[in-house]
Amino acid sequence: GTTITISSNHWIMAWAGLEINTLAILPLISKSHHPRSIEAATKYFLTQSAASALVLFSSMTNAWHTGQWDITQLSHPTSGLILTSAIAMKLGLVPFHFWFPEVLQGAPLSTGFLLSTIMKLPPITLLYMTSPSLNPTLLATLAILSAAIGGWMGLNQTQIRKILAFSSISHLGWMAIIIIYNPKLTLLNFYLYTVMTATVFLALNSIKVLKLSTLMTAWTKVPSLNAMLLLTLLSLAGLPPLTGFLPKWLIIQELTKQEMIPAATLMSLLSLLSLFFYLRLAYCTTITLPPHTTNHIKQWRTNKPTSILIAI
């Protein structure tokens, strides 16, 4: 499905590839037969089918007005707006982001890795191919909102899959803001993000960790793996001199060249929000053990002896 979409020039072929992708990932999401997995698969199917319908509607509107079914010839402004909304829904950009953390939380880690990386490639390719005719203001707004919500909502999470989902949303904000001005930077950012996210998901899958509390005790299992996880998380946060700093630096540089200094400042300030939860994850992987709390004293205080109750 991914290959069909990224190699096609015709809208119908691109749409068919997106549909194959959606149908292929649904059994992988729901394979554990848990109610949460079934719910995640249903949410994923509904959002993706709505987005696919919007992609078709956008391409038909464009074909109606221009007579072109070529992906690169998206010249009608209304079609551009509808397509941007459809791709934002497929990717999980704000304000169409609500499905993504829930689906990732319901899916196994191996499927979560596919959802966060390979499944995002076809929509990003469509954005890349149509980038000259998209609305810059709309994309910049979606991008800044994604960076803000992705950082802010991730602060209060204890489930690692949800944290990674909000991290993905904020990274997509960085990719969306630059795609009109320098599409190659978006692809560079996506490739590096894919490599780093794959490392995190595969490391978590091998040490069987899903929550922050279990991550704290996981460093005793495979210390070398945890050291790699720590470095990858700091790289995702964009700390120099690690790899993840490079795309952010280049994007800020490009935005400054385009005289979008307020947007560049906002994006770099909003990345501090996500930096907090990456640092918390990194802190949990290495140097802390959770406190072993018990409720014995509390129970002893609240449970009165039965003899006194009978006497009363």
pLDDT tier at 156 (50, 70, 90 boundaries)? confident
Do 55 and 8 form a contact (C-beta atoms < 8 A)? Answer: no
Say if residue 195's pLDDT is above 50.
Answer: yes
Say if residue 16's pLDDT is above 80.
Answer: yes
Of the listed ranges 2-11, 120-129, 297-306, the least confidently predicted one is 297-306
Alpha helices by DSSP H, listed for the chain, are: 2-7, 11-29, 35-66, 77-91, 99-106, 109-116, 121-130, 136-154, 160-178, 183-207, 212-217, 223-237, 245-257, 261-286, 296-302, 306-311
